[in-house]
Amino acid sequence: MTFNEHFNKIYGERWSRLREALAAEDTGKVLLKNPFGAGYQDYSLDEASLFPARALDVQPGELVADFCAAPGGKLLAMIFSVQGESRFLASDLSPGRVQRLKAILHDCLPPEVLTRVEVRKADAARFGQRLPGQLDRVLVDAPCSGERHLLHSAKELARWSVKGSKRLAIRQHSLLCSALDSVKPGGRVVYSTCSISPIENDDVIERLHESREGQFEVLKFAHEKGEATRFGWIILPDTAGCGPIYTAALLKTSR
């Protein structure tokens, strides 16, 4: 099945408008104003990216992990907005992207804040075993098909397949299992992707329901832009003018 056939089946009449909005250049950008004063940089990101950071709802004094953190937009959104001294663990699997993340954090954060952010080049799928029940909140902004990006690259678009999307869903599920294992009971996990495919969004949460029955509840929430899905919320550029971003928030209920 081709890319167009697949998404036409999912979105029906809406697909041509959505495809056009996805292909548009540089829409939906906002400037995240730096609260640390002169000498520290602001950060530009898609407005919809603020939503998963907001859904994590970090509180002062908490230990928070951003599993897939580079280049760091959502991490900065969390650090800029939390009132008080939370600690952050920011990991990413890619050495090049970890270097980029570190450079951005140095440009945007004063030394006293940087000391509360530990950056690790690591496979976050292993944190569930390494840090069992130790974290208050985890953001899993997972690697995904990124259809907006695909539409800007004929070569990558030609490589797209449903099979590839399903392979990514397996990685996304294992990152989510790791997140669930690493938070304390009562802790929160936010799952987000910039994919428009239910395979990488609601279906991943459905699979988690099957593999981790009784260990979590889905938290209901809404945003001024976007629309509800079975388990979360999606912000799509044809109606919202920013995104795409899918977000689901989970409350860990037991070990």
| Cβ proximity of 142 and 192 under 8 Å | yes
Give least dist CB 141 to ligand SAM, A.
4
54 is an interface residue for ligand SAM by CB under 6 A: no
What binding mask, one character per residue, do residues 153-192 give for ligand SAM by CB under 6 A, x or -? ----------------------x-----------------
Q: Cβ contacts of residue 137 below 8 Å, gap of 6+?
A: 56, 57, 58, 62, 64, 65, 183, 187, 188, 189, 190
Does residue 74 bind ligand SAM (CB under 6 A)? Answer: yes
Residue placing its CB nearer to ligand SAM in the complex, 97 or 102:
97
Which x/- pattern over 99-138 shows residues binding ligand SAM (rule: CB under 6 A)? Answer: ------------------------xxx-------------
Clarify whether 194 is annotated catalytic. yes
The identity of residue 82, as a single letter, is: V
Distance of CA 158 to the CA centre of its chain: 25
- Residue 79 touching ligand SAM (CB under 6 A): no
Is the dihedral angle over the CA atoms 67, 177, 7, 56 positive or is it negative? negative
Q: What is the CA radius of gyration of the chain?
A: 18
Residue 28, interface with ligand SAM (CB under 6 A)? no
Residue 200's closest CA among 125, 138, 147? 147
- Name the residues annotated as catalytic: 194
* Sites of contact with ligand SAM (CB under 6 A): 49, 67-74, 91-94, 97, 123-125, 141, 143, 175
